[in-house]
């Protein structure tokens, strides 16, 4: 009964203080939103990519493509007949997709396609009348006609390259040049436009098959089932796999193509770490608000203690209020979280090049975020509630032993000890992830608890050098000191935010450093040449005949199916190189072993002998070591390959292996994707480019320098980090909000003192300056602590991410980010101080009398 | 001595002319003060008395330039203050008005010396205030306390520190808000005597709000407020004045 009465009183209190309730609920909401957005980001990106694949499936349920290791263009008639005879199949259509590059004689194109990173421009040939309603929409012009050499380009591609309706273009393809007239512009993100990140042109299938001499060939069969339900699709896939020839495989229409999400896996690991930290930041803000509320109402709570409340009733009242407020915060947070998820997904879409069409938030993520919010609210309210409960009734002087000692120093030591021990434990794999998690949480909590200890030295510093002591400095020191607990936690908030930024930025820097090292150590040619129309058979030999060209070595990248005993099969990228030439001594490229001390010449010999080299990442993921056997699917079936060693390779995000070029025919053959050209000393890349173009006028060669090629690969890797970087910005904004929240609460508690200062003659400008100085000080100290914490955190994040993804990350110091943070601290501090400072200016000096003086 | 000084003063330090103040209290306007006319000459110790809600606090805020009147005007040392903006009022307040609060309102993290010199520091005259600080410490018995924090002082000591702070800039007017309200009788008397002595010996001008008739007896002029109106002004040094004061305090005049 008493509990009900207390709950009712709590409800009334919450309702009657709408502004405070809103402030506390917003704090909880920010945490909930951050958690929801973080947890949903990966799902959301995935869902949008799936939705894009769904759109690009053009209404089909199953797609049949060449099996990994097979030629991508296959004879389709027999397979079409076979599938059409299946009773579960409603329709089978063929699709022919061909890599192509529009040739613009006015512009010299030096942007080569990066095999394993970049899918280039594609012409999609299909029978439009068989995909009615799912092929997309026209933005301008008309559809290409059957039997005419016409193409419709996506709006984004046409706009980027400056192509307009009516323009006649020549496309270079691996099967020869093809002249097409642009007759239409397609709306982006729909049907065909959703393919290949919008870099497509749609033509009638016959135009391609006739124009390129590929009659009866296809790259994909789109199969529509009579029953499109999940179970029916599953049953059809099983049946098709049993009946289709070995060179073909059936996939769900929305299944992504081969390749690896290695980097995305790494990023998601970082995001999970971020989610934990964002809850801590949100909780801190809620704590501040609850603490300020308890302080504000101290007299009221003491009165209740005097009249009818026991200490535990006061605690119960405060916790009830927190629970109700947290409930409101969760509701608000879910809405904010959805908005944030959408914003983050849109940002990623912009960078990663997909279209946001759906908002996917799993119920589990909502439940997790809601639980985190309620828990954060209650944890945040616990201490203020406890403090309020220890307040004596009116007229009673509290006895010295009434309030138990906090033992904060012991807690800090224990937290730091646990964190540091977990951080340096020499473990790997999942135990490493667990250790990293424990260390991370322990150190963050230690920072939050121990942040106020930083206040002592800080105020001592402010009071140092008596000759220079000014009253304002003393006031500032006093302010910082008297709100040591809140300011300490605010500093810790900034420190955790900065630590997060540095930690995750360290991970990114580490990955970048690895990639750059790989690029620098293995890509050593002078010129990189690709040809959308395919290289002539003797391109290498003919190139080397050109005076000034020392060497020309082919490189091919294919998706192959790999199987190892310990792990499940996966599609990986096989990089085919010439071992005898692909050595750094040849100045064309080479291998680099993870420790940098491996015998690369021996590796090249093993490669020439038919062994394979696996990337370090793939080795970890598939548990492969030197001497292991890797089963790879070839034209002759699944064959064993000996792993000769581990090398650093980030093709397809690290899901890659290196194979001797002579084995290419066993994996479907075809032409190389790129030629690496070595030039004689003194020959410029520009001259060599001209000579090669002159020597091969029909191949539409695209040639780029080594520097540009390397930069393109690093840029391609960097673009994957958009998600993480957007969350880092969020973390810093939350840290700023934490400081603003702490300052605002400090102001609430000291409102009377500010009024006295104003009454004594402190101008608004000086008051604002003093309030802002406190904010700047908290921010700066937080950044100093955060910088140190961040360096430790980068080790932990790298450790955790390595355990999840297989990337061997060496913790790196993100110097650029560090500098940015130090400079960014000034606007962050100013930003955090703006609202509290504005409130200071609004304080009427007359309040100096209101609080304590005459009421007459 | 007081009479001689009054004759030599050319104008009132503080003047209220037709002063009115109305607040918007949500349920409608509330009139706190109506048509107050009074003046306090330099070197005088004046006090304001009245029951709760009579407008004493509002009057003090207006005199301290902490609030602005709805009608009428406050003149400080003959200067009109109506047209001043916040910054000008703040500067004038810092330079020419000292405050003594009932709850002392010392900054706990500053030493006694730093608290006293705070208004001088805000005025940019910290270095010049050293001599004044030493003099005030001597006059108010604070010599041995200058490096201590307020938390270690007794109530009477704290109020003397507050008084020193109010006087550090040599203000034209000291406004004291129930300065003895939080003190025991002996400490209260000590503070009142200090104010009286300062007025007599050094020509301070003090306006004090008080509930204490004994305190009011030590002042030169007592202004009585009731329902926001100035209902009487007495000289407690005369028999009539003492009688009026007693009658007012006991509520015999209604």
Q: What is the pLDDT of residues A608-638, one digit of tens each?
A: 899 999 888 788 778 888 888 888 888 787 8
Confidence tier at A113 by pLDDT (50, 70, 90):
low
Cα A126 to Cα A778: distance, rounded to the nearest angstrom: 63
3 state SS of A562: strand
**∠ CA A65-A67-A71, rounded to 5°:** 85
Kindly determine whether residue A844 and residue B67, on different chains, have CB atoms separated by under 8 Å. yes
The answer to whether A470 contacts chain B (CB < 8 Å) is yes
pLDDT of B222 reads 93
Kindly determine whether residue A849 and residue B57, on different chains, have CB atoms separated by under 8 Å. yes
The answer to whether A473 contacts chain B (CB < 8 Å) is no
Contact partners, residue A121, CB within 8 Å, separation at least 6: A99, A100, A101, A102, A157, A196, A199, A200, A201, A532
Q: What is the pLDDT of residues B42-81, one digit of tens each?
A: 999 999 998 888 899 889 989 998 888 999 999 999 999 9
Kindly determine whether residue B51 and residue A856, on different chains, have CB atoms separated by under 8 Å. yes
Kindly determine whether residue A853 and residue B177, on different chains, have CB atoms separated by under 8 Å. yes
The answer to whether B101 contacts chain A (CB < 8 Å) is yes
Chain centroid to CA A166: 41
Pairing type for strands B45-49 and B221-226 reads parallel
Kindly determine whether residue A761 and residue B93, on different chains, have CB atoms separated by under 8 Å. yes
The answer to whether A848 contacts chain B (CB < 8 Å) is yes
Q: What is the ipTM of this complex?
A: 0.78
Neighbour tally for A265: CB within 10 Å = 20
The answer to whether A754 contacts chain B (CB < 8 Å) is no
The answer to whether B119 contacts chain A (CB < 8 Å) is yes
- The CA distance from B7 to the nearest CA of chain A, in Å, is 31
Secondary structure of A487-512 in the HEC alphabet?
Answer: HHHHHHHHHHHHHHHHHHHHHHHHHH
- Joined tokens for residue B139: 């006059």
Kindly determine whether residue B102 and residue A852, on different chains, have CB atoms separated by under 8 Å. yes
The residue of chain B nearest to residue A470, with distances taken between CA atoms, is B121
pLDDT of B1 reads 44
What is the side-by-side order of every strand in the sheet holding B97-100?
Answer: B97-100, B173-177, B206-209, B45-49, B221-226, B229-234
Kindly determine whether residue B95 and residue A761, on different chains, have CB atoms separated by under 8 Å. yes
Contacts of A480 in chain B (CB under 8 A): none
Q: What is the pLDDT of residues A221-267, one digit of tens each?
A: 888 888 888 788 888 888 887 788 877 888 777 654 443 344 444 45
pLDDT of A188 reads 79
Range A489-498 average pLDDT: 74
pLDDT of A287 reads 66
pLDDT of A851 reads 47
More confident of the two residues A800 and B28:
B28
pLDDT of B221 reads 93
Residue A454 per-residue DSSP state: G
Cα A647 to Cα A594: distance, rounded to the nearest angstrom: 6
Q: What is the pLDDT of residues B183-230, one digit of tens each?
A: 888 888 888 998 999 899 888 999 999 988 888 999 999 999 999 999
Which of A78-87, A463-472, A741-750, A782-791 bottoms out in mean pLDDT, i.e. has the lowest?
A463-472
Q: What is the pLDDT of residues B126-156, one digit of tens each?
A: 888 889 999 999 988 899 999 998 889 988 8
Kindly determine whether residue A855 and residue B114, on different chains, have CB atoms separated by under 8 Å. no
More confident of the two residues A153 and A568:
A153
Confidence tier at A852 by pLDDT (50, 70, 90):
very low
More confident of the two residues A410 and A336:
A336
More confident of the two residues A147 and B176:
B176
pLDDT of A772 reads 81
The answer to whether B212 contacts chain A (CB < 8 Å) is no
The answer to whether B121 contacts chain A (CB < 8 Å) is yes
The residue of chain B nearest to residue A842, with distances taken between CA atoms, is B86
The answer to whether B54 contacts chain A (CB < 8 Å) is yes
Q: What is the pLDDT of residues A3-48, one digit of tens each?
A: 777 888 788 878 877 777 787 787 778 777 877 776 676 666 666 6
Give the H or E element holding residue A62: strand A62-66
- The CA distance from A747 to the nearest CA of chain B, in Å, is 15
Range A745-773 average pLDDT: 80
Q: What is the pLDDT of residues A178-201, one digit of tens each?
A: 889 999 998 877 777 777 767 788
- The CA distance from B109 to the nearest CA of chain A, in Å, is 5
Kindly determine whether residue B109 and residue A854, on different chains, have CB atoms separated by under 8 Å. no
What distances in angstroms separate CA A607 from CA A580, A600, A643, A661, B85, one per listed residue? 9, 10, 9, 9, 86
Contacts of A752 in chain B (CB under 8 A): 105
The answer to whether B151 contacts chain A (CB < 8 Å) is no
Which of B55, B122, B126 is opposite residue A761, by nearest beta carbon?
B122
Residue A61 per-residue DSSP state: S
Range A58-63 average pLDDT: 80
**pLDDT above 50 for A402:** no
**∠ CA B64-B67-B70, rounded to 5°:** 125
The residue of chain A nearest to residue B211, with distances taken between CA atoms, is A854
Could you tell me which of A294, A296, A290, A446 has the C-alpha nearest to residue A380?
A290
Confidence tier at A464 by pLDDT (50, 70, 90):
low
Cα A474 to Cα A459: distance, rounded to the nearest angstrom: 9
Kindly determine whether residue B53 and residue A470, on different chains, have CB atoms separated by under 8 Å. no
Kindly determine whether residue B114 and residue A844, on different chains, have CB atoms separated by under 8 Å. no
Angle between helices B155-167 and B112-122 (to 10 degrees): 20
The answer to whether B117 contacts chain A (CB < 8 Å) is yes
Chain mean pLDDT for chain A: 75
Kindly determine whether residue B126 and residue A470, on different chains, have CB atoms separated by under 8 Å. yes
Q: Kindly report the CATH number assigned to the domain that includes residue B59.
A: 3.40.50.300
Kindly determine whether residue A853 and residue B119, on different chains, have CB atoms separated by under 8 Å. no
Number of domains in chain B: 1
Contacts of B165 in chain A (CB under 8 A): 760
Kindly determine whether residue A844 and residue B54, on different chains, have CB atoms separated by under 8 Å. no
The answer to whether A751 contacts chain B (CB < 8 Å) is no
Size of interface A-B (CB pairs under 8 A): 115
Which of A766, A846, A855 is opposite residue B52, by nearest beta carbon?
A855
Kindly determine whether residue B87 and residue A765, on different chains, have CB atoms separated by under 8 Å. yes
More confident of the two residues A829 and B63:
B63
Kindly determine whether residue B105 and residue A849, on different chains, have CB atoms separated by under 8 Å. no
The answer to whether B25 contacts chain A (CB < 8 Å) is no
pLDDT of A521 reads 73
Contacts of B114 in chain A (CB under 8 A): 471, 474
CB B63 within 8 A of CB B173: yes
The residue of chain B nearest to residue A852, with distances taken between CA atoms, is B103
Q: DSSP assignment of A344-362, as one string?
A: HHHHHHHHHT---------
- The CA distance from B115 to the nearest CA of chain A, in Å, is 9
3 state SS of A168: strand
- The CA distance from A743 to the nearest CA of chain B, in Å, is 18
Chain mean pLDDT for chain B: 86
The residue of chain A nearest to residue B64, with distances taken between CA atoms, is A759
Contacts of A764 in chain B (CB under 8 A): 86-87, 90
CA dihedral A124, A127, A132, A137 (to 10 degrees): 30
The residue of chain B nearest to residue A469, with distances taken between CA atoms, is B114
Which of B67, B119, B178 is opposite residue A761, by nearest beta carbon?
B119
The residue of chain B nearest to residue A480, with distances taken between CA atoms, is B109
The answer to whether B20 contacts chain A (CB < 8 Å) is no
- The CA distance from B69 to the nearest CA of chain A, in Å, is 13
Q: What is the pLDDT of residues A364-396, one digit of tens each?
A: 778 877 887 787 777 777 777 777 777 665 545
Which of A471, A753, A856 is opposite residue B50, by nearest beta carbon?
A856
**pLDDT above 80 for A744:** no
Instruction: Tell me the residue range of the domain where B99 lies.
Output: 43-69+84-250
Contacts of A474 in chain B (CB under 8 A): 109-110, 114
pLDDT of A50 reads 64
pLDDT of B254 reads 39
**pLDDT above 90 for B18:** yes
Contacts of B105 in chain A (CB under 8 A): 752-753, 756, 848, 852
The answer to whether A132 contacts chain B (CB < 8 Å) is no
Kindly determine whether residue B114 and residue A470, on different chains, have CB atoms separated by under 8 Å. no
């Amino acid at each position: 009964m008493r509990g009900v009465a207390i709950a009712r009183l709590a409800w009334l209190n919450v309702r009657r203080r709408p502004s405070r309730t809103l402030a506390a609920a917003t704090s909880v909401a920010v945490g909930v939103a951050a958690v929801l957005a973080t947890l949903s980001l990966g799902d959301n990106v995935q869902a949008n990519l799936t939705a894009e694949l769904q759109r690009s499936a053009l209404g089909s349920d199953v797609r049949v493509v060449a099996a990994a290791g097979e030629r991508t263009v296959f004879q389709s008639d027999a397979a079409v007949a076979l599938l059409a005879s299946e009773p579960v199949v409603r329709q089978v259509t063929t699709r022919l997709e061909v890599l192509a590059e529009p040739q613009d004689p006015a512009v010299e194109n030096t942007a080569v396609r990066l095999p394993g990173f970049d899918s280039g421009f594609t012409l999609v040939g299909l029978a439009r009348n068989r995909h009615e309603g799912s092929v997309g929409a026209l933005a301008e012009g008309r559809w290409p006609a059957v039997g005419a050499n016409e193409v419709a380009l996506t709006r984004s591609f046409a706009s980027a390259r400056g192509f307009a309706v009516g323009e006649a273009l020549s496309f270079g393809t691996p099967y020869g040049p093809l002249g097409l007239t642009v007759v239409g512009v397609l709306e982006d993100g729909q049907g065909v436009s959703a393919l290949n990140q919008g870099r497509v042109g749609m033509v009638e299938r016959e135009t391609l098959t006739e124009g390129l001499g590929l009659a009866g060939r296809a790259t994909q069969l789109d199969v529509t089932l009579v029953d499109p339900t999940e179970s029916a699709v599953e049953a059809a896939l099983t049946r098709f796999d049993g009946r289709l020839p070995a060179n073909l495989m059936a996939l769900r229409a929305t299944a992504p193509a081969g390749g690896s999400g290695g980097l995305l896996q790494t990023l998601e690991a970082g995001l999970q770490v971020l989610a934990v930290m964002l809850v801590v930041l949100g909780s801190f803000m809620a704590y501040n608000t609850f603490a300020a509320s308890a302080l504000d109402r101290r007299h009221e709570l003491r009165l209740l203690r005097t009249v009818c409340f026991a200490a535990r009733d006061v605690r119960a009242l405060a916790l009830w209020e927190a629970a109700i407020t947290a409930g409101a915060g969760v509701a608000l947070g879910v809405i904010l979280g959805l908005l944030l998820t959408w914003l983050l997904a849109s940002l990623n879409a912009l960078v990663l090049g997909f279209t946001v069409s759906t908002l996917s938030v799993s119920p589990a993520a909502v439940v997790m975020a809601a639980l985190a919010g309620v828990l954060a609210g209650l944890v945040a309210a616990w201490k203020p509630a406890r403090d309020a409960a220890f307040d004596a009734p009116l007229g009673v002087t509290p006895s010295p032993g009434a309030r138990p000692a906090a033992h904060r120093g012991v807690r800090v030591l224990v937290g730091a000890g646990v964190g540091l021990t977990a951080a340096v434990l020499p473990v790997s794999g999942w135990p490493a992830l667990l250790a990293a998690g424990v260390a991370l949480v322990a150190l963050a909590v230690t920072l939050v608890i121990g942040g106020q200890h930083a206040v002592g030295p800080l105020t001592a510093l402010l009071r140092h050098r008596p000759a220079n002591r000014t009253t304002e400095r003393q006031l500032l020191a006093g302010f910082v000191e008297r709100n040591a607990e809140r300011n300490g936690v605010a500093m810790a908030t900034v420190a955790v935010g900065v630590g997060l930024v540095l930690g995750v930025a360290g991970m990114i820097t580490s990955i970048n450093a690895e990639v750059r090292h790989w690029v620098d150590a293995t890509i050593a040619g002078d010129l990189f040449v690709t040809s959308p129309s395919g290289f002539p058979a003797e391109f290498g030999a003919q190139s080397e005949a050109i005076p000034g060209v020392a060497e020309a070595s082919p490189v091919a990248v294919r998706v192959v199916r790999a199987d190892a005993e310990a792990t499940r099969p996966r599609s990986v990228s096989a990089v085919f190189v010439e071992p005898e030439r692909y050595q750094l001594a040849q100045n064309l490229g080479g291998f680099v072993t993870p420790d940098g001390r491996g015998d690369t010449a021996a590796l090249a010999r093993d490669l020439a002998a038919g062994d394979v080299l696996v990337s370090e990442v793939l080795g970890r993921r598939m548990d492969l070591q030197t001497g292991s056997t890797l089963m790879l699917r070839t034209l002759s079936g699944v064959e064993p390959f000996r792993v000769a060693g581990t090398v650093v390779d980030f093709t397809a995000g690290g899901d890659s292996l290196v194979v001797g070029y002579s084995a290419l025919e066993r994996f479907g053959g075809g032409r190389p994707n790129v030629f690496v050209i070595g030039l004689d000393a003194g020959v410029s890349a520009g001259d060599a480019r001209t000579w090669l173009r002159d020597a091969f006028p029909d191949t539409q060669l695209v040639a780029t320098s080594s520097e540009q090629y390397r930069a393109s690969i690093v840029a391609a890797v960097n673009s994957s980090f958009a998600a993480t970087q957007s969350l880092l910005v969020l973390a810093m904004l939350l840290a700023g909000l934490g400081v603003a929240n702490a300052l605002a609460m400090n102001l609430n508690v000291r409102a009377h003192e500010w009024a006295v200062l104003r009454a004594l003659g402190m101008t608004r400008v000086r008051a604002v300056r003093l309030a802002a100085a406190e904010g700047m000080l908290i921010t700066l100290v937080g950044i100093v602590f955060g910088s140190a914490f961040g360096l430790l955190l980068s080790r932990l994040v790298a450790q955790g991410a390595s355990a999840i993804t297989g990337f061997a990350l060496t913790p790196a110091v993100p110097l650029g980010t560090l500098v940015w943070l130090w400079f960014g601290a000034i606007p962050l501090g100013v930003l955090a101080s703006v609202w509290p400072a504005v409130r200071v200016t609004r304080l009427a000096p007359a309040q100096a009398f209101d609080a304590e003086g005459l009421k007459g | 001595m007081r009479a001689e000084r009054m004759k030599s003063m050319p104008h009132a330090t503080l003047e209220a002319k037709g002063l009115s103040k109305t607040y918007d209290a949500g349920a409608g306007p509330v009139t706190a003060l109506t048509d107050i006319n009074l003046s306090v000459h330099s070197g005088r110790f004046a006090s304001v008395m009245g029951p709760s809600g009579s407008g004493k606090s509002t009057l003090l805020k207006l005199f301290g330039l902490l609030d602005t009147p709805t009608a009428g005007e406050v003149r400080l040392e003959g200067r009109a203050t109506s047209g001043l903006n916040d910054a000008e009022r703040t500067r004038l307040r810092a330079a020419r008005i000292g405050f003594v609060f009932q709850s002392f309102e010392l900054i706990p993290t500053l030493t006694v010396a730093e608290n006293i010199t705070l208004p001088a520091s805000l005025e940019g005259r910290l270095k010049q205030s050293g001599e004044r600080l030493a003099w005030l410490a001597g006059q108010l018995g604070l010599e041995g306390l200058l490096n201590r924090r307020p938390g270690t002082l007794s109530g009477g000591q704290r109020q003397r520190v507050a008084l020193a702070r109010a006087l550090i800039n040599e203000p034209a007017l000291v406004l004291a808000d129930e300065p003895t309200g939080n003190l025991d009788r002996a400490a209260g008397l000590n503070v009142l005597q200090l104010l009286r002595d300062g007025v007599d010996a050094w020509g301070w001008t003090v306006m004090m709000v008080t509930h204490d008739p004994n305190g009011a007896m030590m002042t030169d002029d007592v202004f009585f407020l009731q329902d926001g109106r100035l209902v009487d002004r007495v000289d407690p040094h005369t028999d009539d004045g003492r009688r009026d004061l007693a009658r007012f305090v006991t509520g015999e005049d209604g």
